Amino acid sequence: MAEQESIIPNLPRIEIEFCTACRWTLRAGWVAQELLITFGDKIGEVALVPGKTNAVFKVVVNSVVVWDRKQAGRFPELKELKQLIRDLIAPGMALGHSDSIKKEKVEGKGNEQVGATTADAKEAAKAPKCEEC
């Protein structure tokens, strides 16, 4: 990703780079929406950066990689992503329920919810696979 500044001076720019071949567009959009709702006027912009392949899902704040799916081996929980971003851009900010210790579970599954739906999974199964997926 090319280094860019926020369109609003002195406010952070958040980039979410995601693999389009893996069909992660909805996930990236959902994460962007949640970040905009949470941080509001504390950020200058959230940019969605489509990647063609390589199973990329990376979140960058002002050229600092906050989350890299490949490096972590998983997608971030939204709670932890918000905490990491908060620690960079607004250390004193309270995140409400995202600061609580309790983890939400998908009913009956025991899996942590990450924002993808069953419809997303079915659609992804039909699509051509990314080389690294």
pLDDT digits (tens, 9 = 90+) for 51-105: 977 899 999 999 999 999 999 999 999 999 999 999 999 998 988 766 665 444 4
Residue 9 has pLDDT above 90, yes or no: no
More confident residue, 111 or 23: 23
Q: Which CATH class is domain 13-126?
A: alpha beta
Question: Quick one: average pLDDT of 22-44?
Answer: 96
Question: Quick one: average pLDDT of 15-35?
Answer: 96
Q: What residue ranges do the domains of the chain occupy?
A: 13-126
Contact residues for 108 (Cβ-Cβ < 8 A; gap 6+) = none
CA nearest neighbour of 77 among 101, 94, 55: 101
CA nearest neighbour of 55 among 70, 72, 67, 65: 70
For residue 115, the model assigns a pLDDT of: 46
Task: Provide the whole-model pTM.
Answer: 0.72
Decide: residue 43, CB within 10 A, 0-12 exposed, 13-18 middle, 19+ buried: buried
